[in-house]
Structure 1
Amino acid sequence: MSKQLKHELNLIEDALKNFRQGASIEDIRTLVGMELRTLQRRLKALASQGRIRISGQRKGTLYHPQKPTLNISATEIEIVPLSPEGNEIRAIIAQPSAKRRPVGYNIDFLTDYRPNVDSYLTAEDKARLAELGKTANLNQPAGTYTKEILQRLLIDLSWNSSRLEGNTYSLLDTQRLISQGQEADNKTAAEAQMILNHKDAIEFIVQGGEEIGFNRYTLTNLHGLLSNNLLPDPAASGRLRGIAVGITNSVFIPLGIPQQIEEMFELLLHKAEQIENPFEQAFFAMVQLPYLQPFDDVNKRVSRLAANIPLSKHNLSPLAFVDVPNDIYVQGIMGIYELNRIELFKDVFMWAYERSAQRYAALRQSLGEPDPFRLKYRDIIKELIGRIVTEALPAQETNDAIRQEATRLPQADQEKFFEVVATELLSLHEGNFARYRVRPSEFKKWQQVWKGLK
């Protein structure tokens, strides 16, 4: 396959990710800018490879993205540096499920862990994370720093954690929903509910006071908030699992006996509460909570927010999962489920924390090296934001304008470009809009269109 053909196929496949309910050929053509006959041939090739599916006939034909698989792109491998052990786990998990041996829950994986004696993170890992996460509030009362950045954290963590669950809201859509309660067009009610549940759960952690910790009250109520109005059985929110569950695309079989789930949940909380290092405590929660699957669903979401409890208490930079690719995150979890090996997931955790810490270091206006990505596309970003503001584009047209501009960039940079521009727009205020050559009257008009977002 030529590089050009491979690029065109990937471009179409990525474009379809914007249409979870399916896209017409004209919808796709608008995004990729490809000649019609060429596009028809490329769609046929993608369908034959099983990378997309087709429904309907003639004028009603729609093209759909396939459900996410465990395959990981070369771009994502480059984004998250993997250790030799991480690559080994990835290769094992990437095999078809028929070639992987079914395994059940290994009780020893939890019972053998000795808090403050055993550690998933090395001393070097902890020192590096501590350096990345330190803030000016280290000696302030617990939770001071998180409260200072709460409004930004609500958007970042709600969006990224939801994105890892397949939610299609954009960063700007999330901002509007959280700030104004306005749902995005062409999105499902479940997606809006997921994001609003994250907002409530984050506020619960940050504002909950001394009662928040690795205890039953915190974890069950965290689940109750995150799963609100999303489970088939409303009574299952905040309640330990009493039914057997399976894991999609995995040969792992979680515990199925309620009494054992209860016993292991209490042991998990007891061990987590004893861990002294906040980063080890955070990673322990991210490993053991999804592995136990103590709730009917929403377990990974609970683990991601629970990981922020010790970081908040120690006034460290939060973990917002900025830029974390979904596929490699899932593969890291699968390595825990099926192999009880944490190395791939630790690679993801270490990289994810570095990215999040960089985001909040910039928010604190700390001195540092300029972002190479922003520097690379400085002129394009400047022109695009200037146009969005001077034309006072509303939210949906803004999303469309950013997406259209992104299609002109190399494929590997498109999603990153969308997030960078969205972040710049969210950071715009009366003290910095002049950098985009915007007049005060134009900025005021744009603010009126975006009333409630500033």
Structure 2
Amino acid sequence: MPSNLLTDILAYAEQAPTPVSPADITEQVGKPRPTVNRALAKLVAEGRLVMSGAGRSTRYHLPADSASTPETARAGIASPPWSMPSRALIAALSTPIGKRPPVTYPRAFVDRYEPNISSLVPPALAVALHSAGRLQGQQPAGTYLRKVLEQLLIDLSWHSSRLEGNRKSLLDTRELFERGRSANDDLDATMLLNHKEAIEFLADAVPTEGMTVPVVRNLQSVLMQGLLDDEEDLGAIRQKIVHIQDSVYLPAQVPSLLEEMLELIVEKARRTQNPVEAAFFLWVNLAYLQPFVDGNKRTSRLAANMPLLLANCAPLSFLDVAQADYAQAMLGVYEQTNVAMAVDLFEWTYRRSILKYRVIEEAMGVQDPLRARLREQLNDGIQQIVYHGNTLASAIDRLSLAPDDLEPFKAMLEKELKILAIHNCARYRLPIKKTQEWIDAGRPY
């Protein structure tokens, strides 16, 4: 391959203010498109050029020491430092879509996986991430998530929705969550509010129900309410054909197979001892299977938090992940059953989550043992008073507390009622509007 062609491509990428498309490069260097494509694949494989996106969204740029592209740097979004296996995968995916062979879902990807023997995440990395992300000491399942829930509602809702093309800003999201639903909500607002409610459902259901298929199906139904043409598709196993845009991957189309594989995926994740490996397994396999008519990727992102929640590990909120990087990591799984990019992306963003939520958790200090032991009763008591309008005495009577716990619990409940506000009501599963009405009424109890 002529070295001057490679030099010309690199020179053009260097002077371009934004990542460039294959069509732009072809026009600039004046060579046939197949020749340019081979040159691009070579440059990507050698690490001299970085490819992002897929299909018509494919763009190229020079690597940077910070691992950020010019496009993502301006948006405050970095990219993971891709490993050599990931770079090789990127090169393979740079082949024009017309030259990539069509592929469908291989159930062997799940069938051959043996929990605690097989691994998608390198075992040493899974152990390291588990060690870094877990909450110290013995605590009830979900304790970590409850501590950081208010921030997680914003983080995971916004970052996950942004990966779906949502146009709301982070500030818009905060204001939307404070206001709640309205008749004038557009699709972007509905997507964000659905995420918030799905995360709250996750926090409530998983500690008591565990990792189950009904929980996963309910996650999809909450995430997609008001966003599907047919409401019967909410939580239902897909009966319709779906296609993946800009990919040669055709998901399985047999409902009985989709249902069988969904059961198997959740069952194998439940048996996996390392919660980081289980989280990655769920994230990749739920998106790969495409069991629902829509919302599969967003369901997979929230479902990945189930094993982390149960093990009291930092939640995974996909902080700062670029759309192009995410799409290409998924494309590697769909078309090559290759998780190299997905592993790099997962490690990079989960380490960011660990650092962020550790700071929040540490800032909250050591948890009161009484609060930890009677957390659910405290939640129920506050709901009885604020949402249902019961008196303090009536709410406590309904909880059937041990005699020695009555007075300290009453004092704790009264303290919480005095500081309850619309900015902290989510941890008690209270709607913002209902909380504000109770406050406006003079905090009756």
**2:16 partner amino acid:** K
Please state if 1:343 is matched with 2:334. Answer: no
The equivalent of 1:6 in structure 2 is 16
Partner deviation per Cα, 1:345-403 (whole Å, 9 max, x = no partner): 1110010100111111232357xxxxxxxxxxxxxxxxxxxxxxxxxxxxxxxxxxxxx
CA distance in 2, matches of 1:2, 1:340: 33
> 1:328 deviation in Å?
1.1
The equivalent of 2:148 in structure 1 is 149
Distance 1:91 1:67, change over 3 A: closer
The equivalent of 1:106 in structure 2 is 106
Pair member with larger Rg: 2
TM-score, L = length of structure 2: 0.65
Q: Secondary structure at the match of 2:119?
A: coil
The equivalent of 2:214 in structure 1 is 217
Please state if 1:162 is matched with 2:161. Answer: yes
The equivalent of 1:240 in structure 2 is 237
> 1:258 deviation in Å?
1.4
The equivalent of 2:36 in structure 1 is none
The runs of 5 or more residues in structure 2 that have no matched partner are: 1-10, 29-53, 70-77, 364-422, 424-439, 441-445
The equivalent of 1:119 in structure 2 is 119
The runs of 5 or more residues in structure 1 that have no matched partner are: 14-44, 50-65, 367-428, 430-451
> 1:5 deviation in Å?
5.8
Partner deviation per Cα, 1:222-251 (whole Å, 9 max, x = no partner): 110011111111110100001111101110
Q: Percent same amino acid at aligned positions?
A: 39
Please state if 1:297 is matched with 2:265. Answer: no
**2:202 partner amino acid:** I
Distance 1:79 1:271, change over 3 A: same
Distance 1:209 1:341, change over 3 A: closer
Q: Is the CA contact 1:212–1:309 (under 8 Å) kept in the aligned structure 2?
A: no
The equivalent of 2:403 in structure 1 is none
Q: Is the CA contact 1:176–1:182 (under 8 Å) kept in the aligned structure 2?
A: no
CA distance in 2, matches of 1:254, 1:4: 38
Q: Is the CA contact 1:205–1:212 (under 8 Å) kept in the aligned structure 2?
A: no
**2:171 partner amino acid:** L
TM-score, L = length of structure 1: 0.64
CA distance in 2, matches of 1:92, 1:213: 39
Q: Secondary structure at the match of 2:325?
A: helix
Partner deviation per Cα, 1:283-328 (whole Å, 9 max, x = no partner): 0001111111000011011110011111111111111111111111
**1:116 partner amino acid:** N
Distance 1:92 1:293, change over 3 A: same
**2:140 partner amino acid:** P
> 1:130 deviation in Å?
1.9
Please state if 1:200 is matched with 2:197. Answer: yes
Q: Answer with 201-210 or 309-318: which moved more.
A: 201-210
Please state if 1:228 is matched with 2:220. Answer: no
> 1:76 deviation in Å?
4.0
Partner deviation per Cα, 1:45-90 (whole Å, 9 max, x = no partner): 99x99xxxxxxxxxxxxxxxx9972436545467301111111111
- 1:324-339 matched pairs, under 5 angstroms: 324-339=321-336
The equivalent of 1:286 in structure 2 is 283
> 1:141 deviation in Å?
0.4
> 1:277 deviation in Å?
1.1
Q: Is the CA contact 2:198–2:223 (under 8 Å) kept in the aligned structure 1?
A: yes
Q: Which one of the candidate residues 355, 364, 368 is aligned to 1:358?
A: 355
Q: Secondary structure at the match of 1:208?
A: helix
Please state if 1:69 is matched with 2:66. Answer: no
Distance 1:299 1:82, change over 3 A: same
Distance 1:318 1:210, change over 3 A: closer
CA distance in 2, matches of 1:109, 1:259: 17
Q: Is the CA contact 1:103–1:251 (under 8 Å) kept in the aligned structure 2?
A: yes
> 1:3 deviation in Å?
8.1
CA distance in 2, matches of 1:223, 1:71: 32
CA distance in 1, matches of 2:287, 2:12: 41
